[in-house]
Amino acid sequence: MSIEPVDDVGLYYVLRDHASSIGSSLRGFILKCKEGAPMQMYHLLELVTRSSYSNTMQESLFQLDANKVDELQADSIANDFTEFMGQSDVGSNILVFGSDAVSRKFQAAYEEFWRRFVGDYPPDDLIKSELFENLLEFLISLTESGSRSLRFLSCLTVYCMMDGLLEFRRSLKQDLNALEQKIGEETSTHKRRSSKKLSSIVGTLESAASASDKVEATSDRTFAEVFVHRSRDCFPDIRALSTTALSRWIEAAPEIFMDENYIKHIGWLLFDKDSTVRCSALRALDRVLQSLGPVANVEMLLRRFRVRLREACRDTNDTVAVLAIRLSALILDYGLYDQRDVKLFFDLSTRDISPKIIEAATCVVSMLVQARRKR
């Protein structure tokens, strides 16, 4: 099989050298790859794998096997890359993890590309073709790689695609509501005679409903086969990445993810042995709490996590402790505190510990004093 690159330049180099034109890069890629799914798949996988390479690797030493892509040999490709890259650490040698301006631009472009991939791709082509499903199959295999960098990049890719998928789902939901309203209007207008327009609308509605079902199934699979496993990955950065992604999904689709089966994962990661992951879990919880509308949802989460928050206020890591103390202030706002909370914050504000912890605890104590004065 012969696969020609897009404009003789791979997507990796397009994003690296033209990070500010992500929209035109994606549209150009979609137009150039109309000839067949194998070409699309090849270039998409090349973007993921090449972004995982360390700067110290000679890129010419390893290339994707086009035949394996064409034959959908996901496990075999994952094994090939794992053997090639080894048990490499994720570090500054990889562009997507650098802290300089060029690296940050590439990071933003990479994530935006995959978020927009679902939304910018023609809906009918995306749903009816097997490209998305087959791509997910490859990426799931890569998330199980023995190479940390490849595993991380694959998880990042899947999570960003999930972001785009949820936005696509939201758009589909709006379309379904509009179509149902049109059907109601047409039905009332043509009560006793057939309507070609009505038949057309019904057909469109059925197509949109089918697309919505496929999106739901893909979301479920992504969570079950990627998130559930990678949120327990041995590499802390992948666990932290997973927690942050879940908070975005809860914010984007609370009607799905504001459920015990999902939020329990944030609770588990609040107990993580790595302070980076604990910080990520606290920030995820804060993001969820700030984005929730109904008071009942906020109170439910605070009641569920209040014991862990209380423990986190005494965390050995100062950053974790400060985050937990500041987040605990929400408990005061909703009147869910008791004497144990009061004693804890007074103790923390007077102990000879980190100045940042004392400052955060003192702020909470001031809130407690003001609350008592108002009674």
Token match 């050995």: residue? Answer: 316
> Structurally, how many domains does the chain consist of?
1
Does pLDDT of 175 surpass 90? no
Instruction: List, for residues 67-94, the tens digit of each pLDDT value.
Output: 777 666 777 777 777 766 665 555 556 7
What pLDDT does residue 149 have? 85
| 2 pLDDT tier (thresholds 50, 70, 90) | very low
Instruction: List, for residues 265-308, the tens digit of each pLDDT value.
Output: 998 999 999 999 999 999 998 888 877 765 567 777 778 888 88
Does pLDDT of 153 surpass 80? yes
What pLDDT does residue 92 have? 55
What pTM, to 2 d.p., does this model score? 0.84
**CA-atom Rg of the chain in angstroms:** 25
Inside any domain, residue 82: yes
Which has more confidence, 70 or 354?
354
Q: Which domain holds residue 123?
A: 1-165
Q: What's the rounded mean pLDDT across residues 206-226?
A: 81
Does pLDDT of 144 surpass 80? yes
| 60 pLDDT tier (thresholds 50, 70, 90) | low
Q: What's the rounded mean pLDDT across residues 304-315?
A: 88
Contact yes or no for 149/52 (Cβ under 8 A) = yes
Inside any domain, residue 200: no
Inside any domain, residue 100: yes
Helix, strand, coil % over all residues of the chain, rounded to 5: 80, 0, 20
Inside any domain, residue 230: no
CA quadruple 74, 121, 164, 13: dihedral sign: positive
What pLDDT does residue 202 have? 64
Inside any domain, residue 86: yes
Does pLDDT of 124 surpass 80? no
